[in-house]
Structure formats: structure tokens, C-alpha cells
Amino acid sequence: MKTKHKKRTQGSTRTKNKGVVSQKLFETDSTYFLKLIAICILATLWLKFTTPIQIFGTHLNAVPVGLMTGLLVVRAFEHSQDDRKIWYAVLIIVGIISYFVPAGLVI
């Protein structure tokens, strides 16, 4: 007994997720914690001057080198926009707090 084969149409031969890039739906807690520690350490790096530098009439006591580097690193390596917003917030908060503590490289 022969079975009838249905004629294949273009719609039935396509894959469901053609062209869609799959991404990880979650990351492990240890990966997230490692990223958090790295971002916090990076945000605390300031280049502080013993005598303030005057640029365009304003006195500059320190430059947030780690904060600027951290912004570039987060933008390059974090793919999810929601995660980037969290890391940016952590960077800015830790960067502002670390300005007032005696941490950083003093020139």
C-alpha cells in the first residue's frame, strides 16, 4: 500500500527561526557576581593630582579613568540593553562614591 506524500510548499520547508540570532536567556550567578566585582573595581580607579590642573578656567582635581574605561567595556561586551543600564548605574554610583574616598592613583 502506497502512502500519499503531500507536496511540499515553500512555507513548509522554511525553518521557524531563520535568521534569528539565539542568545542566552540567563547567566549563572557566579558570572553575574564576577562582572559586578570587576565593574566595582574598575569604577574606583581615579587619576588624582596633587595640585589641581586648570583647564578652560575650571580646576580639575581628578580624572575618572576607570569610569570611562568601564563605560566602554560595558558597551562592548554586554549585549542586553537592560543589563547595560544596570551596569551603567553601578559604574556611576561607585564612581561618584569612590571620588570622596582616598583611593586612586595620585600624580
Q: What confidence tens digit (pLDDT) does each residue in 2-24 have? A: 677 777 666 555 555 556 555 66
pLDDT in tens, 70-99: 999 999 988 888 889 999 999 999 999 988
Please report, rounded to a whole number, the percentage of residues in the chain having pLDDT higher than 90. 30
pLDDT at 9 (0 to 100): 67
Stretch 13-36: mean pLDDT, rounded? 72
Give 104's Cβ-side CA count (13 Å radius).
Answer: 26
Going by pLDDT thresholds of 50, 70 and 90, the confidence category of residue 33 is very high
| Domains of the chain by residue range | 49-107
Residues forming a β-bridge with 48? 62, 106
Chain-wide mean pLDDT for the chain? 82
Cα–Cα distance for residue pair 22/8, rounded to 1 Å: 27
Residues forming a β-bridge with 60? 53
pLDDT at 91 (0 to 100): 93
Q: What is the DSSP string of 38-54?
A: HHHHHHT--EEEEEEEE
Stretch 13-39: mean pLDDT, rounded? 75
